[in-house]
């Protein structure tokens, strides 16, 4: 009897994550949907101007949406080579001693709080890049991409490294046996074998970059205009939510619009996570690991 | 471990109930523009009146007013007057927001110190911020792309500027929207071709404030109403303030309180 | 040999990637610490801000961050452990478990600002906790729940199956086995996971923006229903909401250094312990 009570106790608590996730979805829908009474979904997603406080207000989030994608794409250009490259280094070149030193350092890079990255980007990197590249403004999509890229690198590196380490030794030995050198083995055998594991890493890195808030709020510049170049200041969705929530009258259109943005953001990361989930499951099955 | 954990939990909850809240605690919340006055006033007031506890939160005018409506703050700071929709909601919630003007704020148009201009007309500023003019050479002096820096489209300063200068026209879409007055000032200080607008309190030696229609933004011109871009700053209380809140509001409106506002760069009413 | 040259270039590129990654780590630490160290003093660590936030210290923010972290862990720790125990020890292999797994993974990927909105709607407004330590740490607690669960899962899975079988063979019930054998064996691993999540909670800003953070307080919080100052929010506020940028950005540097120091210390310890454990298990 006692055993059964205990089992039930754990079962109930185990549902906590599901409850919170569902709670988040409900809140976002409940607070976000009312905006679609004022604007259509199409106008909201593809409207080109975001003037939430004007009379009449305009709620087109295309500039914010593009800004998020723009900045995350830029971050990907940095964190994919850096993260995957570092993972390959750790997996292929580093001696066990080097590895035991470098891996914790990468983890430490991951544990630096986003506000510190934001501060670093705002007071050090932005002025530096502005002088170096003669930009009209240092706080722009480029700087934000750079900082986000650095932030996402450890995420990509750790997961990709895990994936690489699961590749069975026999794969590599077979490759060496037919006369391939280490680089050829890496490119032709190890990377394809770990392929979906590495794509999981990249997708999760992307998901992290798109959802990052404080850094882009401090570094991206904040202009709600459709970005035309990497050096334009932009206003990603997360930054819009964090900075405007305080000034949006509770229960008003602007308030609902911000929740609707959060909903879109949530759906994007949700899709990314599902894809990552599928990719990693496929990977495990492919290598004969448990599902 | 589990036991220890439980113990800690119980100890914590017990502790949180054992210490009662201060009898006289004042919560202020709202506009980031009013924040420096609120913070400094709270600091000085607490120095003079031991046993009073004042907490100061930012968040924005709307957050402050919403909290006042919900009864979760005592004083709402606002850089704009309460909206009719908010007032209706407050009344239906049984609250009665009362406005107190605590200082005047002039919105200064600022440029980088290297800029050749020291005066513009309101029309020219409007043309710059609505996007009709995009290069300094179009105004006759200097050259280079104009980098327009604006406050957040949701801030009180933005709204005031939009009403007073832009006459409700939309600002150009490529204006940089900064989340705070300070960020605008910093960006202008760092960027040669920049023009921005900030509360008078944020003008410092690293930027140059422009004369608008021939009037320099200053204490005198804002109070006299000759400077065209000025606005009052509010604190809202629920009903006529009483007790400790009344004392605090009286303090802010007193000569000493107004001196604090001046010290933070705003325009005192006395 | 052409293929050897390709290998050299390839390995060179990969090494460069590693170097740049580590370079950024040291660059950040270097810039923050050389500029932050100038304002750190005993007064800075123990006093409240003074003179319109341009002088004095940041003690209330340090204490606030401590409270928020403690409460978030107190909330997420038991819940996370229970969830991990269910998944590793009790779970029947069916779609329910899959559903829970998927929801944990997704919860881990939710943007931090969304937790802030959730906290604002549910804890601050709906439950009426107001802007308080309680609202803030519950929001933070949900954020780190997935981290604690996966750390605990990893630790539980590392406990050899033979230990469980031996215990059951001696006539112990499932719960006795978990309580007396599995949990103690997994505890060090679980704790490192918890320590790592401490670092994460202490540095998070977006979830407390609308749920817990105050700009200025004199004293320390007396109950969990009060709002607090917090280091990460303080940095943000100083950089964006003050009239004295020069003095205040110096203080922001100081706060950044304290936060960085605390977080790196805590996660450094956890990473170190874990490293030793792993090499202990894997020989």
Total domain count, chain A: 1
The CATH architecture that domain C37-282 belongs to is Orthogonal Bundle (1.10)
Q: Which of residues 173-232 of A touch C (CB under 8 A)?
A: 181-184, 186-187, 204, 207-208, 210-214, 218
* CATH number for A99: 1.10.3720.10
Based on the domain organization, do B10 and B51 belong to the same domain? yes
Cross-chain residue pair C216–B55, CB shorter than 8 Å: yes
Contacts of A among chains (3+ CB pairs under 8 A): B, C
Based on the domain organization, do B42 and B16 belong to the same domain? yes
Domain range for A21 = 2-290
**Interface contact C2, partner B, CB < 8 A:** no
Based on the domain organization, do B197 and B241 belong to the same domain? no
Q: B60 vs A15, which has greater pLDDT?
A: A15
**Over the stretch A70-120, which tens digit does the pLDDT of each residue have?**
999 999 999 999 999 999 999 888 888 888 889 889 988 988 999 999 999
Name the minimum distance, in Å, from the CA of A110 to any CA of chain C: 9
In this complex, the residue of C85, C259, C271 whose CB is nearest that of residue A116 is C259
Give the bridge partners for C242, in sequence order: none
Is B113 within a domain? yes
Based on the domain organization, do B110 and B200 belong to the same domain? yes
DSSP secondary structure letter of residue C49? E
**Lowest-pLDDT range, A93-97, A139-143, A286-290, C222-226?**
A286-290
Q: Parse chain C into domains and list their residue ranges.
A: 37-282
Based on the domain organization, do B116 and B188 belong to the same domain? yes
**Over the stretch C116-137, which tens digit does the pLDDT of each residue have?**
999 999 998 888 888 889 999 9
Structure pTM?
0.86
pLDDT (mean) for B220-226: 85
User: What pLDDT is stored for residue C279 in this prediction?
Assistant: 61
Name the minimum distance, in Å, from the CA of C106 to any CA of chain B: 28
ipTM of the complex: 0.89
Q: Of all helices (H) and strands (E), which one includes residue C95?
A: helix C95-109
* Chain B residue with Cα closest to A248: B62
Is B268 within a domain? no
pLDDT (mean) for B143-156: 77
Based on the domain organization, do B159 and B171 belong to the same domain? yes
pLDDT (mean) for C29-50: 88
What phi and psi, each to the nearest 5 degrees, are found at residue B178?
-105, 150
Q: How many CB atoms lie within 10 A of CB A166?
A: 15
What are the DSSP E strand ranges found in chain A? 50-51, 58-59
Contacts of B172 (CB under 8 A, 6+ apart): B129, B130, B131, B134, B148
Based on the domain organization, do B222 and B112 belong to the same domain? yes
* Chain C residue with Cα closest to B265: C243
CA dist., res. C83 & res. C152, Å (int): 9
Total domain count, chain B: 2
Domain range for B111 = 105-230
**Lowest-pLDDT range, A38-42, C171-175, C180-184, C270-274?**
C270-274
**Interface contact C188, partner B, CB < 8 A:** no
Based on the domain organization, do B94 and B209 belong to the same domain? no
Cross-chain residue pair A10–C90, CB shorter than 8 Å: yes
In this complex, the residue of B1, B56, B182 whose CB is nearest that of residue C245 is B182
CA dist., res. A232 & res. A238, Å (int): 17
Please list every residue in chain C whose beta carbon sits closer than 8 Å to the beta carbon of residue B180: 240-241
Based on the domain organization, do B226 and B250 belong to the same domain? no
CA dist., res. B33 & res. C225, Å (int): 27
Please list every residue in chain B whose beta carbon sits closer than 8 Å to the beta carbon of residue C226: 21, 55
Based on the domain organization, do B39 and B114 belong to the same domain? no
Q: Is the pLDDT of residue C23 over 70?
A: yes
**Interface contact C104, partner A, CB < 8 A:** yes
Based on the domain organization, do B93 and B168 belong to the same domain? no
Most confident of A111-125, A220-234, B82-96, C188-202: A111-125
Dihedral angle sign, alpha carbons of residues B110, B114, B119, B120: negative
Q: B24 vs A227, which has greater pLDDT?
A: A227
């Amino acid at each position: 009897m006692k055993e059964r009570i205990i089992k039930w106790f754990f079962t109930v608590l185990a549902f906590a994550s599901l409850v919170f996730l569902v709670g988040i979805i409900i809140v976002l829908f409940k607070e976000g949907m009312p905006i679609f009474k004022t604007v259509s979904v199409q106008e909201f997603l593809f409207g080109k101007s975001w003037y939430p406080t004007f009379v009449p207000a305009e709620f087109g989030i295309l500039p914010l949406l593009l800004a998020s994608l723009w900045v995350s794409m830029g971050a990907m250009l940095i964190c994919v080579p850096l993260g995957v490259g570092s993972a390959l280094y750790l997996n292929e070149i580093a001696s066990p001693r080097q590895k035991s030193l470098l891996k914790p350092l990468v983890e430490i890079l991951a544990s630096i709080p986003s506000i510190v990255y934001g501060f670093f980007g705002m007071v050090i990197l932005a002025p530096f890049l502005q002088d170096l590249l003669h930009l009209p403004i240092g706080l722009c999509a480029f700087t934000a991409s750079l900082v986000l890229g650095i932030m996402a690198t450890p995420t990509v590196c750790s997961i990709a490294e895990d994936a690489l380490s699961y590749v069975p030794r026999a794969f590599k030995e077979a490759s060496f046996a037919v006369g391939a050198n280490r680089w050829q083995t890496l490119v032709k055998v190890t990377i394809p074998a770990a392929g979906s594991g590495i794509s999981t890493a990249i997708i999760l890195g992307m998901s992290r970059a798109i959802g990052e808030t404080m850094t882009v709020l401090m570094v991206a510049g904040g202009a709600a205009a459709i970005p035309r170049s990497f050096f334009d200041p932009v206003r990603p969705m997360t930054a819009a939510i964090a900075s405007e929530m305080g000034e949006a009258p509770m229960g008003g259109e602007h308030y609902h619009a911000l929740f609707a943005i959060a909903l879109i953001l949530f759906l994007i990361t949700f899709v990314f996570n599902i894809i990552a989930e599928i990719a990693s499951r496929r990977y495990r099955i492919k290598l004969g690991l448990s599902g | 471990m589990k036991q220890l954990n439980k113990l800690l939990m119980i100890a914590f909850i017990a502790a949180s109930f054992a210490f009662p809240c201060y009898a006289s605690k004042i919560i202020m919340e709202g506009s980031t523009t009013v924040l420096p006055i609120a913070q400094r006033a709270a600091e000085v007031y607490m120095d003079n009146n031991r046993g009073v506890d004042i907490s100061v939160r930012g968040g924005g005018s709307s957050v402050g007013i919403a909290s006042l409506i919900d009864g979760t703050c005592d004083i709402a700071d606002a850089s704009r007057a309460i909206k009719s929709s908010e007032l209706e909601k407050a009344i239906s919630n049984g609250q009665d927001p009362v406005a107190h003007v605590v200082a005047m704020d002039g919105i200064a148009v600022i440029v980088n110190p290297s800029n050749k201009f020291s005066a513009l007309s309101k029309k020219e500023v409007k043309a710059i911020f609505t996007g009709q003019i995009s290069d300094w050479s179009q105004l006759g002096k200097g050259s280079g792309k104009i980098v327009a820096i604006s406050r957040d489209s949701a801030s009180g300063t933005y709204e005031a500027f939009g009403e007073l200068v832009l006459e409700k026209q939309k600002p150009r879409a490529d204006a940089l929207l900064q989340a705070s007055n300070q960020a605008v000032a910093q960006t202008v200080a760092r960027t040669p071709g920049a023009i921005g607008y900030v509360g008078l309190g944020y003008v410092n030696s690293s930027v140059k404030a422009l004369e608008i229609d021939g009037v320099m933004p200053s204490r005198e011109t804002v109070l006299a109403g000759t400077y065209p871009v000025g606005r009052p700053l509010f604190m809202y209380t629920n009903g006529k303030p009483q007790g400790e809140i009344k004392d605090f509001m009286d303090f802010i409106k007193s000569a000493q309180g107004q001196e604090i506002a001046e010290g933070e760069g705003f325009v005192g009413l006395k | 040999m052409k293929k050897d040259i390709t290998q050299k270039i390839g390995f060179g590129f990969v090494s460069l990637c590693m170097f740049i990654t580590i370079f950024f780590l040291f660059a950040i630490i270097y810039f923050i610490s050389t500029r932050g160290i100038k304002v750190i003093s005993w007064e800075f660590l123990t006093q409240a801000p003074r003179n319109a936030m341009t002088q004095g210290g940041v003690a209330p923010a340090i204490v606030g961050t401590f409270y928020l972290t403690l409460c978030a862990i107190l909330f997420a720790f038991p819940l996370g452990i229970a969830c991990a125990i269910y998944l590793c020890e009790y779970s029947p292999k069916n779609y329910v478990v899959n559903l829970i797994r998927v929801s944990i993974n997704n919860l881990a990927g939710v943007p931090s600002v969304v937790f802030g909105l959730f906290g604002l709607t549910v804890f601050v407004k709906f439950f009426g906790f107001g802007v308080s330590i309680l609202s803030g740490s519950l929001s933070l607690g949900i954020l780190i729940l997935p981290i604690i669960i996966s750390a605990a899962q990893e630790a539980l899975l590392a406990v050899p199956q033979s230990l469980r079988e031996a215990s059951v063979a001696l006539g112990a019930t499932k719960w006795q086995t978990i309580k007396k054998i599995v949990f103690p064996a997994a505890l060090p691993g679980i704790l490192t996971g918890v320590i790592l999540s401490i670092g994460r909670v202490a540095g998070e800003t977006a979830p407390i923006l609308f749920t817990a953070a105050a700009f200025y307080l004199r004293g320390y919080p007396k109950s969990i229903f009060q709002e607090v100052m917090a280091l990460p929010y303080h940095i943000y506020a100083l950089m964006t909401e003050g009239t004295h940028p020069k003095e205040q950005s110096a203080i922001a540097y100081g706060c950044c250094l304290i936060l960085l120091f605390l977080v790196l210390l805590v996660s450094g310890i956890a990473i170190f312990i874990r490293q030793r454990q792993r090499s202990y298990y894997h020989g």
